[in-house]
Amino acid sequence: MALWCLVGLWGCVDEAGNDLADGDDPSEYLTDGDEDQDESLSESETEAKNDCSLDSDCPESYACDPNLLQCRALECNDDSGCFSLYGKASFCSASHLCLPKSCDAQTPCPTDYYCSVGFCAPIPSCSQIADLNVDEVLPILLADRSLELQAHAYDSHASEIPGVQIQWSSLNPEIVSVENLGQGRALAKSGEKSGTTTLMARLDFEDESCQGSELSSTFTIQNFPRLKNGVRVIVLDAQTGKTVGGATVISGDQVQTTPNEGERGAAMFSELRAPSAVHVFHPDYDYISVIGAQSSDIVIPLKKTNGINSTAGAKLSLDFSSLPAASSDSLMFGWAGMAFTGSLLDLNPSTVFSRPLMTETPFLGPIHDILPLPSNVVLEEVDTSKNLLIEGSEQASTAWAFGGYMASQDLVELLTLRLMEGWTDVGALLLSSMSFVDSFYHGINTEVSLQLQPMVPDDGKFNESPFDQPDLNGDGSQEDLVPDYDSFVPVQLTLAKPLERQLQIEVGELPKYQGRQLDGLLTMVGALKDGEFVPLGLAENVVEAPVVPIDEPTRQLFTLNYAPCYSSLPQQSLLLSFAMPFDQFLSGGTVTSAYSVIITRRAELPEQVALGEFLPFIPTVVAETESRKITFNAVEGAGFHRILLGGQGRRWELYFGPQQGYGTLEAVLPKPPWDDPWGPTTAITAAAAELSEGVTFEDFLQISPEPLHHVDEKILRFSTFSYDRASMAR
């Protein structure tokens, strides 16, 4: 009857989902079904409630419950015996104990049961519902428009409970009204008045068991009047979806400021016609420009700026104790980071490494004994204790890590070969270490909280030991800034999940960059969790280019080892395949990065993936400092292009709509009212992206469930390269 409370995961409910009386001992319900059972227990039977790990730990007529790790009386010979006691979500184990059925996305539960933390449980009463949650939507409406809403009920373990009756309502139906559609669904409809109101989802009080429940979920929605003429720019906070007042919006010689009241967040340009170019600035956010927009209503989501000269990070202690014992000549390799929260256009093999820190290497080999290694990498002798210094966004909450052991001599041999081929010291060491990932383990910590802290001068006076040395990053200067490593929050992480799955990746010829054949393929599998990308496995492979041109280039096959989605990670896998120049990896030269990427999305990755053609690069970018004009040639087939400017602690994203063929795209940039990233030393990154079939760039500029900051969810391929602005200024 109370099988599910003894799993240790729920409150005590019977198979109908009703609460047991207060004070009831759930073990009373776990009998062998004999109502005349002798209530006086022998000493051995009393001890049968003790902890156990195997059936042999229990006395006769008892077995070890694998969920509770406690001895229980034998109670069944087949499943039917459990059905009569606990219902159809139970089964008779080989040890003759009734246990709850396990479940997952591929193994559903019987009718009237649901899957909670991997077990089938009875659908509970209202008192067992712990939370109501509403699917994320863009909380704005235009006149005569509607928006579909969906609310979900969850138990105390964040497992969704199906079939719960939920009632929607609006505090002001004249602004936005709500039509209930059942099953937690509702339709929000634009009202006659413009303004802001609150929508609420509550448990349906017509259900007698819900009487008195105060559980609810609310969100604020804003209704805009019909646009009669011109162009309206609606500015949002990308994280909250709320409109932003006080933003400066520039189009041509017209300048508007979004109001804080009334039609909050909206800038009106009555004389402007499509295609238009709009530029949005705010002191608390990164800047965004959209060039060539065809819509009359343009939605611009802004991302909070990290601030000038600030960073957030953690001192991560990596536990290797779950790994098999290492041999005497082994080295210990660990690599950790925070989940990536930005656009996939900004995710590349360089961004998953933290800033360099001068580090002593643990072996005598063909490289310098002290190198500027990324601070989130550890390469040490076995059993050495050393923190990894990881950097990330304040929005990230998940830390990840790979780690394992490798034979020192094998690493030196591979490293020597790659140095002879002209690879850089740091890039060769890191990529060579990744060649041993088939024996690595993975770990995550999903409860990390970071805070931005000001950076400090690199003169050794602002950090405590061991970070009190000048020129920590090895760039030869003590006047630049480095993170305040002493302020990094401590984080513990255990390597517990082996990279036990394998993916075969088939690839043909890699693309060329500025006439040069790319030689490296770095593949990365990860999971998307609440907007965070968590790496689960990676592999690096040198792709041999054909010696002479051939009609049908040969295709090569490589293996990637990865950990399956586990713990709280969703069952949604993402494969990123980077074509890149391995010999320039982390080189710090003029051309700091060049990547062409294919994105593969699957609920479950197959055993083999065949990669298609990579997207070509934008051929060239011309930036004219005095005129503030930027010009480049479009990539054929790209759904949009993005130019990213970086300088003065600011990001400025320029989005260009699609261009037919190899046309020229250009923009003259206005001067922002605050920090101006434009100048002779501005870093410029140019990207071209192909969108999914049937999806256009304009879809992301309109009021829809997928605003501009979700554009990378529809990207199939993209290419990107970065220049030092000083190398191309005119």
pLDDT at 420 over 50: yes
Is the separation of the CB atoms in 270 and 278 below 8 Å?
no
Question: Are residues 436 and 544 located together in one domain of the fold?
Answer: yes
| Strands of the 266-269 sheet, one edge to the other | 266-269, 231-237, 297-302
pLDDT of residue 67: 83
Nearest CA to 136 out of 219, 65, 197 is that of 219
Nearest CA to 128 out of 18, 214, 268, 35 is that of 18
Residue 694 makes CB contacts below 8 A (sequence gap 6+) with: none
What is the rounded CA–CA span in Å between residue 373 and residue 382? 18
What is the rounded CA–CA span in Å between residue 379 and residue 485? 19
Which pair of tokens denotes residue 240? Answer: 């909250």
Residue 517 makes CB contacts below 8 A (sequence gap 6+) with: 510, 545
Residue with tokens 């994280």: 239
Question: Are residues 105 and 169 located together in one domain of the fold?
Answer: no
Mean pLDDT within 557-582: 86
Q: Would you say residue 425 lies in a domain?
A: yes
What is the rounded CA–CA span in Å between residue 475 and residue 545? 34
Q: Would you say residue 697 lies in a domain?
A: no
Highest mean pLDDT among 10-19, 75-84, 708-717: 75-84
Question: Are residues 286 and 406 located together in one domain of the fold?
Answer: no
Is the separation of the CB atoms in 684 and 644 below 8 Å?
yes
Is the separation of the CB atoms in 331 and 380 below 8 Å?
yes
What is the rounded CA–CA span in Å between residue 400 and residue 316? 10
What is the rounded CA–CA span in Å between residue 237 and residue 302? 5
pLDDT at 73 over 70: yes
Mean pLDDT within 399-410: 88
Phi, psi of 128 (to 5 degrees): -90, -5
Question: Are residues 289 and 190 located together in one domain of the fold?
Answer: no
Q: CA-based angle 604:607:613, to the nearest 5?
A: 95
> Which runs of E-coded beta strand occur in 625-714?
629-633, 640-647, 650-656, 664-668, 683-691
Question: Are residues 504 and 491 located together in one domain of the fold?
Answer: yes
Classified as helix, coil or strand, 700 is helix
Q: Encode pLDDT of 617-634 as tens digits.
A: 998 889 998 999 999 999
The average confidence (pLDDT) of the chain is 82
Q: Would you say residue 692 lies in a domain?
A: no
Distances (CA, A) of 62 to 5, 31, 190: 19, 11, 64
Where residue 652 falls among pLDDT bands split at 50, 70, 90? very high
Q: Encode pLDDT of 112-147 as tens digits.
A: 888 888 888 888 877 778 889 888 787 888 878 888
pLDDT at 163 over 50: yes
What CATH number corresponds to the domain at position 210?
2.60.40.1080
Counting residues of the chain whose pLDDT is more than 90, the rounded percentage is 30
Q: Would you say residue 100 lies in a domain?
A: yes
Q: Domain total for the chain?
A: 4
Rg (CA), the chain: 30
What is the rounded CA–CA span in Å between residue 62 and residue 44? 10
Classified as helix, coil or strand, 300 is strand
Q: Would you say residue 654 lies in a domain?
A: no
Question: Are residues 93 and 132 located together in one domain of the fold?
Answer: no
For 169-207, give the DSSP string.
EES-TTTEEEEEEETTEEEEEE-SS-EEEEEEEEE-TTS
Q: Encode pLDDT of 449-493 as tens digits.
A: 999 888 888 887 776 777 777 877 777 777 788 888 888 999 999
Q: Which of 593, 610, 627 is the last residue in one of the domains?
A: 610
- Tell me the pTM: 0.77
Where residue 17 falls among pLDDT bands split at 50, 70, 90? very low
Task: Return the higher-pLDDT residue of 141 and 705.
Answer: 141
Classified as helix, coil or strand, 710 is helix
Q: CA-based angle 474:477:483, to the nearest 5?
A: 70
pLDDT of residue 450: 92
Mean pLDDT within 420-444: 80
Which pair of tokens denotes residue 694? Answer: 């049937």
Question: Are residues 355 and 456 located together in one domain of the fold?
Answer: yes
pLDDT of residue 708: 54
Is the separation of the CB atoms in 275 and 292 below 8 Å?
yes
Q: Encode pLDDT of 317-339 as tens digits.
A: 999 888 888 777 788 888 999 99
Is the separation of the CB atoms in 17 and 122 below 8 Å?
yes
What CATH number corresponds to the domain at position 240?
2.60.40.1120
Q: Which of 106, 124, 142 is the last residue in one of the domains?
A: 124
Write the single-letter amino acid at 183.
Answer: Q
pLDDT of residue 107: 77
pLDDT of residue 640: 92
Question: Are residues 101 and 137 located together in one domain of the fold?
Answer: no
pLDDT of residue 367: 63
Highest mean pLDDT among 74-78, 189-193, 569-573: 74-78
Q: What are all long-range contacts of 628-632, with beta carbons under 8 Å and residues at least 24 apart?
A: 628/668, 628/669, 628/670, 628/671, 628/678, 629/666, 629/667, 629/668, 629/669, 630/654, 630/666, 630/667, 630/669, 631/664, 631/665, 631/666, 632/664, 632/665, 632/666, 632/686
Give the β-pairing of 650-656 and 664-668. unpaired
pLDDT of residue 400: 94
Distances (CA, A) of 413 to 367, 431, 519: 12, 13, 20
Question: Are residues 420 and 278 located together in one domain of the fold?
Answer: no
Q: Would you say residue 347 lies in a domain?
A: yes
Where residue 234 falls among pLDDT bands split at 50, 70, 90? very high
pLDDT of residue 729: 36
Quickly count: other Cβ atoms within 10 Å of residue 463's Cβ. 20
pLDDT of residue 15: 43
Q: Would you say residue 701 lies in a domain?
A: no
pLDDT of residue 21: 37
State the residue range of the domain holding 169: 128-224
What is the rounded CA–CA span in Å between residue 346 and residue 625? 25
Query: How many helices and strands, by DSSP H and E, does the chain display?
Result: 4, 51
For the chain, how are helix, strand and coil distributed in percent, rounded to 5? 10, 40, 50
Question: Are residues 381 and 452 located together in one domain of the fold?
Answer: yes
Residue 192 makes CB contacts below 8 A (sequence gap 6+) with: 174
Question: Are residues 290 and 144 located together in one domain of the fold?
Answer: no
Classified as helix, coil or strand, 434 is helix
Q: Would you say residue 491 lies in a domain?
A: yes
Residue 390 makes CB contacts below 8 A (sequence gap 6+) with: 313, 314, 316, 336, 337, 338, 354, 375, 376, 399, 491
Residue 228 makes CB contacts below 8 A (sequence gap 6+) with: none
pLDDT at 726 over 70: no
Question: Are residues 359 and 475 located together in one domain of the fold?
Answer: yes
Q: Encode pLDDT of 491-547 as tens digits.
A: 999 998 999 899 999 998 889 888 888 888 989 999 887 778 899 998 888 887 665
pLDDT at 417 over 90: no
Nearest CA to 661 out of 682, 642, 636 is that of 636
Q: Encode pLDDT of 381-392 as tens digits.
A: 877 677 899 998
Task: Return the higher-pLDDT residue of 31 and 279.
Answer: 279
Mean pLDDT within 264-289: 91
N-terminal to C-terminal alpha carbon distance within the chain: 79
Where residue 357 falls among pLDDT bands split at 50, 70, 90? confident
Element (H, E) at 488: none
Q: Which of 302, 335, 362 is the last residue in one of the domains?
A: 302
